[in-house]
Amino acid sequence: MVSLVDVSGRLTSFETGALRDSISALLKRGHKDIILNLTDLQYLDSSRSASSRAFTFP
């Protein structure tokens, strides 16, 4: 099963919590195929700290 996560607004090192929580919840439920829909994303902080915080899972 493929899960779709819609991401909108801004994604910075300070605003990654909700995305990380959503992905973590999907992973805990056994969803391994996850697609991020970034169509409505207005700003993405490309610094290393933002991306590593958003996508580092235990």
Domain ranges for the chain: 2-54
Structure-block tokens of residue 18: 């909700």
> What is the pLDDT at residue 31?
94
The model's confidence at residue 8, banded by pLDDT at 50, 70 and 90, is very high
Structure-block tokens of residue 36: 């991020």
19 within 8 A of 31, measured Cβ to Cβ:
no
The model's confidence at residue 15, banded by pLDDT at 50, 70 and 90, is confident
Stated pTM of the model: 0.72
40 within 8 A of 4, measured Cβ to Cβ:
no
Residue 12 pLDDT exceeds 70: yes
Whole-number Å distance between alpha carbons of 28 and 45: 27
